Structure 1
Amino acid sequence: MSDPAVVKLFHFGRFDIAVLKHTFGVTTTPVFCTKIASRLVRTYTDRHGLKDLVRELVGVDLSKQQQSSDWAAAELTEAQMAYAASDVLYLHECKAKLEAMLARDGRADLAQACFTFLPARATLDLAGWAEEDIFAHS
């Protein structure tokens, strides 16, 4: 997960990177987060979840039926495994479209800075600063 030659692709990478660090002790780099990219270029909406992103960019409606199922169970169900697989199926296509939008809007460098910061943000979350903005003035 730390191979610098391989970009790890996430949607809401902040969470996944924290889980990987907590569970396996690895710092995941480099990364691309479709949720961050979406927030930087799809400024006309507040709907940046994967379901809405895939619907708009790829034209596919993802089922979120298993989203709130028991993911802590010792064994995942077939439905959970299918859900997890479909959840990442369209990330590469979304990434390509988001990269074009970031370039068009002149925000590719800003996005990269955000992606580079994500492992540090995940470490802050794990250290107890998940809800506090340590960069805020007050």
Structure 2
Amino acid sequence: MSAATSASILLHRGDLPDNVTFGGSIAVDTEAMGLNPHRDRLCLVQISAGDGQAHLVQILPGTASPNLARLMSDPSVTKLMHFARFDVALLQHTLGITVAPVICTKIASKLVRTFTDRHGLAQLCRELLGVDLSKQQQTSDWGAPELTPEQQAYAASDVLHLHALWAKLEALLHREGRRELAQACYDFLPARARLDLLGYEEPDIFAHRA
């Protein structure tokens, strides 16, 4: 199954429109110029309510995105992410907000799929959903003024299946008795992101080293 099959992709420049509404749970992903949030700017935020529609918000340098910031910090809206630690840090740094509540499918996979070290989004979608995600555009230039149709399709694919993926992983968490532990990890993610932004990736303050 192709990740972009029958998907509706809406591209917004600068911010979400005022009239866009979502339910209580949204899938979120980001694209940036690199992996250092202090150096590499946020370029794109992808959002889906799990309804086959993806909203892509192209972040414009020097321009505020108040509607996006309100959504990302709304305590009544759960944000589903894969490797949320990075996305939360990037969004908090760029938008000046606290991103919560958050659920991370990568953390869920690591808690219950201990028989493998393959926890990437593409692997999980293939193994749990039978969906093949193309990663060809992963390292393309996300800061380009105009995004290609291929970039847009790739960006959308990273959020279109997160609701279904989380449903599978949450069932496994309940089966293994680790749903409460996963929630404790998710509740800590905004603070973990702040620690990362302060440079506490290394040294790890939780490690037993002098």
The one of 113, 117, 128 equivalent to 2:184 is 113
1:55/1:134 Cα in 2 relative to 1: closer, same or farther (>3 Å)? same
| 1:77 shift after superposition | 2.0
The one of 88, 96, 103 equivalent to 2:167 is 96
More strand by share: 2
The one of 98, 108, 124 equivalent to 2:195 is 124
Q: Residue 82 in 1 paired to residue 153 in 2?
A: yes
Partner SS, residue 40 of structure 1? helix
Segments of 5+ residues of structure 2 without an aligned counterpart are 1-71
| 1:87 shift after superposition | 1.1
| 1:59 shift after superposition | 0.5
| 1:72 shift after superposition | 2.6
Distance 1:67 1:132 in 2: 29
Q: Residue 21 in 1 paired to residue 92 in 2?
A: yes
Question: Structure 1 counterpart of 2:117, which letter?
Answer: D
- Alignment-derived partner of residue 50 in structure 1: 121
- Name which one, 1 or 2, has greater alpha-carbon Rg: 2
- Alignment-derived partner of residue 48 in structure 2: none
- Alignment-derived partner of residue 39 in structure 1: 110
Q: Report which stretch shifted further, 18-27 or 125-134.
A: 125-134
| 1:67 shift after superposition | 0.7
Q: When the two structures are superposed, what TM-score results if normalisation uses the length of structure 2?
A: 0.64
Question: Structure 2 counterpart of 1:73, which letter?
Answer: A
| 1:132 shift after superposition | 3.0
More helix by share: 1
Partner SS, residue 141 of structure 2? coil
Partner SS, residue 128 of structure 1? coil
| 1:73 shift after superposition | 2.5
- Alignment-derived partner of residue 66 in structure 1: 137
| 1:43 shift after superposition | 0.5
Question: Structure 1 counterpart of 2:160, which letter?
Answer: L
Partner SS, residue 73 of structure 2? coil
Distance 1:120 1:52 in 2: 28
